[in-house]
Amino acid sequence: MLALAALLLIAGGARAAVEAGQPACDYCGMILEHPEFGGEIDTHAGQRKIYDTVECMAAAVLTDSVRQRDIRAIRLADHDAPHSKVPLERTVFLHCRAIESPMGMSLLAFSKRARAEQACPHQVGRVLDWRGVLALVDSTWFQGKLSVERHATIPHAKSRPTQ
């Protein structure tokens, strides 16, 4: 019952944000205010799903909010250049507790490994791949109950220019 109530609140928040003309995360419903943490998924049906953080995108994939077979492409905001999108297969992730993301998991995406390695103060961050991001989100938000391996495959779509 509590989970249903939370789901209705999230859906209501997203609907209110969209109605107010502000884009909202397709997973949590938060208004997108920090573009340097987000990303998007394009589906084969032509839909574009937007996410306020790497962790929301990973949760959407893990929970089948967007089914693996429906994903055409995944792109993430380069933390250094938020309006530039990096295809998932070329993204390097950083888990850095010194930089808090809007959902609190401190996950960032970069187009270059060297930049990801240097971005965390005092070099206390950990560089991850997509599987590592999914595992971290699964263990933190879902107590390790979801299938990381089933969702770790990176969809390979025809190249599209970044925006």
pLDDT tens digits, one per residue of 32-90? 999 999 999 999 999 999 999 999 999 999 999 999 999 999 999 999 998 899 999 99
Q: What are the domain boundaries of the chain?
A: 25-151
Distance between CA atoms of residues 48 and 128, nearest Å? 25
Q: E strand or H helix at 151, and its extent?
A: helix 148-151
Q: Taking 70 as the threshold, does the pLDDT of residue 16 lie above it?
A: no
User: What single-letter amino acid sits at 143?
Assistant: Q
Name the pTM for this structure: 0.82
| Count of Cβ atoms closer than 10 Å to residue 148 Cβ | 21
pLDDT tens digits, one per residue of 96-141? 999 999 999 999 999 999 999 999 988 789 999 999 999 999 999 9
